[in-house]
Structure 1
Amino acid sequence: MKQFLATLGASILILAIALPARAETFRAGRLLCATAPRVGLVLGSAQTLRCVFHARGQPPRQYVYEGRIRRVGLDIGVTSAGVLSWAVLARNSRVGPGSLRGNYVGASGNVALGPGLGANVLIGGSRRSIMLQPLSVERSIGLNLAAGITNLTLGARGAR
């Protein structure tokens, strides 16, 4: 188990260093997602998300997304509703309504014993032109251990 978590941690670190170097990217804004409570089913889990993308620039804009995050791998325990936060990186500075919709894939790891933290490394989106910051921050409360492959699907829900 320790070896598995060490391998996952090393993979996340390598991806965090390598992904930004692939192409010039612009910081387009921040994506904040509220998560539903989650029950780990040993080999995976699924959660619904409600996300708001806060675009940089003048005037500041917000776009709402609905999503679903699925994890495959070790996932044991229960967590309450939580919050995910990503910096959004794009190939150009023009990110508008619906630009973030699509599928994102990568590695993830979460630990919770009371308050918990997690990390997710995801890339994808519209024509694979969007990266969610190599390491997101996930806050939740519960008793949980999770590590594996993550798939995030986002669908646009409009502007606010």
Structure 2
Amino acid sequence: MGTWRSCLFLALGFLAFPWALAEDWRLTRSQTLTQGKAQEWRYTLSPSGKESQELWRRLSEQYRDHLRAGYRVELGAWRVYFLGGRLRVEPHCQAVNPACFTFGALPVAKERQDRFLLELSALLDQALVQANGTGGVVSLPRLFRLEVPKKANPPYPASPSGWRP
């Protein structure tokens, strides 16, 4: 009986894990219907809560400056950069850890920024994997928007979202 309960609690813990991570970010999946016909899927990442929104506003400003200067912005499992004047998103770290990120010079504790970016990376990866299976648009407001054709291989061409290069 004790082993059964341990397994049950462990299973419930794994089921609750994705929701436990979703403190700073949310991923919204939507699809438009026109005249009874389904259109492409949209996957939108957005910071949740005022503190997260402010942190993302300040961090995304620094990321845009990095991109304008010709640097890459590393977002854990993915990286964003300009190549030939076009914005691209490509795989970066397979085993995501704090060293896989471009950190902002912000008056925020490193642990806070780590948690914020790790959650962003996990949801961005989830959005891109889902979009690859269905085809669709992935948006990270204030940074980029990209269209992912069904079963396409990265790198993905993207366009700036909310800013000009």
Indicate the structure with greater helix content. 2
Greater RCO structure (CA 8 Å; 6+ sep): 1
Whether TM exceeds 0.5 here: the answer is: no
Please identify the structure whose Cα radius of gyration is greater. 2
Report the TM-score range of the alignment, normalised by the length of the smaller protein. Answer: under 0.3
TM-score if structure 2 supplies the norm length? Answer: 0.24
